[in-house]
């Protein structure tokens, strides 16, 4: 028995789990396609002009700690999705967006200013008759 035959036989024993992962991945993909435009429309036009919240004291508030815990769990799931079926990079970005940490606004600006990203986001906002993002 060759190695490839052994691998195929082993995968067949996990067929139900693999089908479940595939269906879950497809479901997450559809949900992300539906939620992403909604989330983009909810960003205030002047969000990137506002001053960033100051300092590390922000992190000790209970609601911030909970947000960061949820964000870290989502980021971990995103890294897992980089090797399993799923939208790993999108999930990591959602985890970063949920979290609160000093320098977050700089990270967000860097991501938004990637070629085509700002243009696509402002196109979605224009289609919904919402003012484009301002820098």
What pLDDT digit, counting tens, does each position of 51-107 carry? 776 666 666 778 888 988 998 988 888 888 777 766 777 778 788 888 888 888 888
Question: What's the pLDDT at 131?
Answer: 92
Percent of the chain with pLDDT over 70: 92
Predicted confidence (pLDDT) at residue 12 exceeds the cutoff of 70: yes
- Select the more confidently predicted residue: 51 or 124: 124
pTM of the predicted protein model: 0.62
Question: What's the pLDDT at 54?
Answer: 66
Question: What's the pLDDT at 129?
Answer: 93
Predicted confidence (pLDDT) at residue 109 exceeds the cutoff of 80: yes
Span 44-54, average pLDDT: 80
- Select the more confidently predicted residue: 82 or 38: 38
If phi over 0 gives left and psi between -120 and 50 gives alpha, with beta otherwise, what is residue 61?
Answer: beta
Query: How many angstroms separate the CA atoms of 70 and 75, rounded?
Result: 9
Span 109-124, average pLDDT: 85
pLDDT confidence band for 135 (50 / 70 / 90):
confident
């Amino acid at each position: 028995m060759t190695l490839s035959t052994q691998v195929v036989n082993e995968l067949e024993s996990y067929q139900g789990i693999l089908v479940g992962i595939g269906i879950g991945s497809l479901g997450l993909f559809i949900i992300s396609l539906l939620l992403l435009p909604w989330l983009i429309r909810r960003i205030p036009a002047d969000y990137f002009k506002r001053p960033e919240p100051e300092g590390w004291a922000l992190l000790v508030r209970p609601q911030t700690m909970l947000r960061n815990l949820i964000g870290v769990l989502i980021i971990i799931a995103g890294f897992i999705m980089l090797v399993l079926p799923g939208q790993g990079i999108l999930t990591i970005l959602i985890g970063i967006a949920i979290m609160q940490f000093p320098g977050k606004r700089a990270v967000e600006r860097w991501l938004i200013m990637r070629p085509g990203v700002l243009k696509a986001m402002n196109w979605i906002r224009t289609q919904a008759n919402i003012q484009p993002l301002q820098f």
